[in-house]
Amino acid sequence: MLYGNATSQIATLVERQSRFVMLVIVASKNSEAVVDALIRHASKLPRELYKSLTWDRGSEMADHNRFTVATDIEVYFCDPQHPWQRGSNENTNGLLEAILP
């Protein structure tokens, strides 16, 4: 979901069936900044593309309830140490590592 380093972060949203990808530049890795950015961008998408999101368990995802209330998109979490439960997103992040500095 969140890719980056100490100075820049990009949230990745990947729709599982169509493989539609949206990259969202995030100002900082704190939960408020991440959720604010995701709320702004989720509202730009057709509703049929995002019915639910599966997030990892990072602290930047702690404000998931506010996201759900603002967007009416259900949030689920993968099990600890089970990144394959978010396989499309993990693959996208791997591809980003190859092309982004």
Q: What is the CATH number of the domain that holds 32?
A: 3.30.420.10
Domain hosting 50: range is 2-99
Overall number of domains in the chain: 1
Q: Please state, in angstroms and rounded to a whole number, the distance separating the CA atoms of residues 78 and 86.
A: 7
Q: Which residue has the higher pLDDT, 71 or 16?
A: 71
Q: Which amino acid is at 6?
A: A
pLDDT score at 69: 92
Q: Please state, in angstroms and rounded to a whole number, the distance separating the CA atoms of residues 89 and 101.
A: 19
Give pLDDT tens digits for 56-97: 777 777 888 898 899 888 888 888 888 788 777 778 888 888
Q: What average pLDDT does the structure give for the chain?
A: 80
